[in-house]
Amino acid sequence: MKEVDEAVQEILTEIFSTALVASALRLGTPLILATVGEIYAQRSGVLNLGVEGMMIVGALVGFIGVNITGNPWMGILLAALCGGAMSLIHAFLSITTRSDQVISGFALSIFGIGVTSYIGKKWIGMAAEAGFYPIYIRGLSDLPIVGPILFSQNVLVYLAFFIVAVSSWILFKTRIGLIIRAVGENPEAADILGVNVYLTRYLCVFFGGIMAGIAGAYLSLAYTRQWVELMTAGRGWIAIALVIFGMWNPVWSFAGSLFFGVIDSFQLRLQAVGIGIPYNLLMMMPYVLTILALSSISTTALAKKIGAPTALLTPYVRGEKT
């Protein structure tokens, strides 16, 4: 009996450690990056379901870029540009040609997964030439508990923190944020006041694409430092769900991303000590969450309650009553 207790004790300490929290941050970062980008797009009234596709393309492009140039920042830059370029396809379809946002975003995701599986074949199994490694700050990194959690992360983790802080300032404290939110709530009101509704939406969607691209590159350059087919594993869908459950607020979505980071690393640890949660169950989770999130915004009453941008999913046409 006593032996069992000890064994349980050992497992618990192994699971709930500073290492768990530190790795939760690492695993939460790609979600944070993608989520914040998507918040901009949705706040301006455009739902982009292509996050998963833009992320996976970002992961592959970042990886290839690093292996060609040898510079991790070049990898990030290329990934950001590719994510951005893909988002412009969605922007063109949903803003200019006013097609169904759900369909064009979804198509983007399918496209991204397909094209990376094809192009990425010859890069499988290779290690990245360079990548992002945890930094070491003398003194700070050696501190107990906070050291490994806060001061021994890679640069992109800090970038994510920074972007969350700046974004919540921009969205809620500046006139740009006011314009973005106005365009997502009542584009006509913004138009009447001389705001370029189309440009605003394009830029927001573009920024979302950039962030999704970087989030993908994070996976292949900072988290694993290799290219694995389908390596995003539904994180793009989780990001969309987090935008909605975080009620379009970067801070809440940040908290949600960390929560998912904890679950993710917890699950890895459970596997390590031999307690396996059925793999398929975990695989399913992103999609279940996305379904829940999307059904909540398509239920008008519920969408209103959680504060969904009123013009989300609605293309703007000047002079047409909404």
Partner 1 sequence: MVANDHVDFDLREGEIHGLLGENGAGKTTLMKILYGLYQPDEGYILLRGKRFTSNSPKEAIRNGIGFVQQHFSLVPSFDAVENVMIGLKSAGLFSQNVEEVRSKIAELSEKYGLKVDSQTKIWQLSVGEQQRVEIIKALCMGTRALILDEPTSVLTPQETVKLFETLRLMVKQGFSIVFITHKLEEVMSVADRITVLRAGKVVFTCNKDETNKAELARMMVGREVIFRPEREELGKGKVILEVKDLHALNDKGLEALRGVSLYVRQGEILGIAGVAGNGQSELAEVITGLRKASGGKVFLKGQDITGCSPRERIDLGLAHIPEDRVNIGLVTSMSVLENLILKNYRSSDFNRGLFIDRQAVEHFCDRLISSFNIMTPARDTPVKLLSGGNQQRLLLAREISASPEVLVAVHPTSGLDVGATEYIQRMLLEQRRRGVAILLISEDLDEIMALSDRIAVMYQGKIVGTVEAKAAQREEVGLMMAGGK
Using rule CB under 8 A, residue 304 touches partner 1: yes
213 and 84 Cβ atoms separated by less than 8 Å: yes
Nearer to partner 1 by C-beta: 138 or 175? 175
What's the min distance (Å) between Cβ of 305 and partner 1?
A: 8
The amino acid that residue 320 corresponds to is E
What's the min distance (Å) between Cβ of 280 and partner 1?
A: 39
What's the min distance (Å) between Cβ of 56 and partner 1?
A: 34
Phi, psi of 127 (to 5 degrees): -95, 150
Q: Name the token pair of 22.
A: 């530190």
Nearer to partner 1 by C-beta: 99 or 310? 310
Q: How many binding residues for partner 1 (CB under 8 A)?
A: 28
What's the min distance (Å) between Cβ of 243 and partner 1?
A: 18
Phi, psi of 299 (to 5 degrees): -90, 110
What's the min distance (Å) between Cβ of 168 and partner 1?
A: 13
**Residue 136 burial (10 A CB sphere; 0-12, 13-18, 19+):** exposed
189-208: which residues touch partner 1 (CB under 8 A)? 189-196
Nearer to partner 1 by C-beta: 125 or 319? 319
What's the min distance (Å) between Cβ of 293 and partner 1?
A: 20
Nearer to partner 1 by C-beta: 274 or 319? 319
What's the min distance (Å) between Cβ of 316 and partner 1?
A: 12
140-199: which residues touch partner 1 (CB under 8 A)? 170, 173-176, 178-179, 181-182, 185-186, 188-196
What is the C-alpha separation between 286 and 232, in angstroms, rounded?
11
Using rule CB under 8 A, residue 307 touches partner 1: yes
Nearer to partner 1 by C-beta: 46 or 303? 303
Nearer to partner 1 by C-beta: 190 or 258? 190
What's the min distance (Å) between Cβ of 296 and partner 1?
A: 16
Nearer to partner 1 by C-beta: 188 or 264? 188
| Measured torsion, CA atoms of residues 83, 85, 87, 89, in degrees rounded to the nearest 10 | -150
Using rule CB under 8 A, residue 321 touches partner 1: yes
Nearer to partner 1 by C-beta: 151 or 202? 202
283-302: which residues touch partner 1 (CB under 8 A)? 300-301
Binding residues for partner 1 (CB under 8 A): 170, 173-176, 178-179, 181-182, 185-186, 188-196, 300-301, 304, 307, 310, 318-319, 321
